[in-house]
Structure formats: structure tokens, C-alpha cells
Amino acid sequence: MVESAGVAIADVIIDACVTQNSTSHPSLAGDMQSLSGLTSSIGALVGFSLSGFLVHLLGPKGVFGLLSIPPGLVILVGVMDREPHVRTFTYTQVSVKFLDACKTMWTTLKCGNFWRPCLYMYLSLALALNVREGMFYWYTDAKGGPSFSQSIFSIGAVGSLLGVLLYQNFFKSYPFRDVLFWTQLLYGVSGLLDLILLIGRIKWMPLLVLSSKLCPAGIEGTFFALLMSIDHVGMLSSTWAGGLLLHVLKITRTQFENLWMAILIRSLLRIVPIALLFLIPRTDPNLSILPPEMLRTEKGHDTHEYETLEMASLVNVT
């Protein structure tokens, strides 16, 4: 639990920085999310590829010791990160800022451009039933399945990496609705191709970019964490529903006769969110979605030294 909390705190801080820059530079929101997805996919690829080898070479305790190095590096980055010191800060401003943040949150939650995409993201994730437990047992079963080793999941990391590159180079300038329509359709048709996460990553990228554009100024980290919480509730609902489906179809570690039926039901439900795409705004993905007054900090006194940094696209399009 402590480890998860530490990872979550670091993740929220990074997401807040990315979201804040996405708000001030709307045309680069896709580039920043692509960069985040690229590093995540590379990390997953390295982890899946080396996990079995390291366990065999170092043993379980050695691997756990090795895994203590990345959190140490995160701490080192946090110590080395230079932030502007606010010399005129008074603690009486805390209550004022808190009230302003609450007003901004309530105003944003009532905005249709905010809650409609949130509803779509939750339903699209909840309807994609998670039957990976049954699929995992089938993948690795020596008798009833193909008997793959766990290293086969590194192929999924490669697919995720390719998905990020495809989105960055070909799809980031297309409207959210268009990208989500085709990826949702292919996501449902993919069926047994769960090991190839390419389509899933391309579907996930516009949702991340959209989420970064739904955060009002001044409370970017709080709102992005709220959006990711909604997504995780959707994933949790998907897992519960998928587990119930596996139970009803009597799919166990050794019984896979009805697995095809679970995959068929899951594939059909994956297509249902296409009917909900009207909840996604049809706007230019390079522009802001929230009203301009929600993207300005109160009284204009929140300035940061990194606002003077020059930012450029990852890929120059001529």
C-alpha cells in the first residue's frame, strides 16, 4: 500500500506538470502525452523482457532489491528539481486559494464540456469486460491452451509502443470522435488479439489528451487525478463484470470450453461505446475545450519560471 501511494503521488505530480503545460500550449498536448506513453511503453517492454531472466539470475530477493533502485531515482529527481521560492507567501492565502479552488471545481463539474467526456470514458472502460484472468490461464495452460510463457506479454508492450508512435505521427491531428470511432470498432473486432495492445494504446491516447484539456487552471493536478480516478473506477467495474461473466460461464483455471463465448460477449460490448460518441466534443484536438475563463489563473499572480521555456512539437510537420 505504501509503495502504491508513493507511485501515485509521483504520478499525480508529473501529470499535473504535463496537464499545466497542455493547458498553456494546447497544440502540444498530444506530443506531451505521446512522450509520456512512449517512456511508459519502453519501461514495460524492458520489464517484461528482463523479468524472467533476472529472477533466474538474481533470485526473488535480488530482483526486489533491484526494484528499489527506481524509487530511489525518483527521490533523486525530486531533490534535484528546482522550484521558484515564493517569498511573499502568507498562510492567510491558503483559505482564499482553497475557496477559489472549490468554486473552480464546482463550475467545471457543471460544465457540459467536462462531464460528458467523463461519462463516455467511464462507460467505454466499464463495457470493455475484463476477462484476462481466463485468458491468462488459457495462454499458459500446457494442455488446453497454447502454453505460452509469461515473456509473451512483452509482445503487448511492443504493440503499445507502436500504438504511441502511430498516434503521434498519424492520428494526433484528427478529431477525437473520428479516432475513437475507428479504434473502438477495431478494438471490438480484435477479439483474440489481446496480446497485441496496439489498438488499445491508440484508443487510450486521445482519451489522455482529452483529459489533459479538461483541467481548469490552478488545479490541474487535482482534476487530472479525478479524471484518472473515474477511469480506474471504469476499469474496476470492467474487472468485476468480467469476473462475474467468467463465473456464470464456469470458466476456471482448467475449464476453457466457454471461453469463446466470453470473448464474443466482450467483443460485442466493446462496440457499444460507439453509440455514445456524441458525448465527445467535435473540436480541433489542437485547441482548448474548456471556456477561456476556466483556463486563466485568478488575478494572474501565479507565475512560474518554466513558463518562459520554449516548447516544440516532437515531430515537425511541414
Helix (H) or strand (E) holding 55: helix 29-66
Residue 230 CA: distances (Å) to CA of 40, 88, 234: 21, 37, 6
Query: Mean pLDDT throughout 143-147?
Result: 56
- Residue 25's pLDDT band, with cuts at 50, 70 and 90, is confident
Task: Give the structural domain span for 158.
Answer: 2-77+112-281
pLDDT tens column, 180-221: 998 888 888 776 555 456 677 788 888 888 888 888 877 877
d(CA 269, CA 285): 27
d(CA 201, CA 172): 13
Q: Answer whether residue 148 shows pLDDT above 60.
A: no
Kindly report the CATH number assigned to the domain that includes residue 264. 1.20.1250
- Listed range (26-30, 36-40, 202-206) with the worst mean pLDDT: 26-30
Residue 301 pLDDT: 44
- Residue 303's pLDDT band, with cuts at 50, 70 and 90, is very low
Q: Is residue 92 a part of any domain in this protein?
A: no
Q: Is residue 7 a part of any domain in this protein?
A: yes
Residue 196 pLDDT: 53
Taking phi over 0 as left and psi of -120 to 50 as alpha, with beta for the rest, 303 belongs to beta
pLDDT tens column, 168-185: 888 888 888 888 998 888
Q: Is residue 101 a part of any domain in this protein?
A: no
Annotate 212-277 with DSSP letters as a single string. Answer: HTTPPTT-HHHHHHHHHHHHHHHHHHHHHHHHHHHHHTT--SS--TTHHHHHHHHHHHHHGGGGGG
Residue 122 pLDDT: 93
The answer to whether the CB of 208 falls within 8 A of the CB of 221 is: no
Q: Is residue 241 a part of any domain in this protein?
A: yes
Per the structure, the count of domains in the chain is: 1
d(CA 85, CA 62): 41
Q: Is residue 94 a part of any domain in this protein?
A: no
The answer to whether the CB of 288 falls within 8 A of the CB of 23 is: yes
**Cell numbers representing residue 36 in the block:** 509520456
- Listed range (194-198, 203-207, 251-255, 274-278) with the worst mean pLDDT: 194-198
Q: Answer whether residue 140 shows pLDDT above 70.
A: no
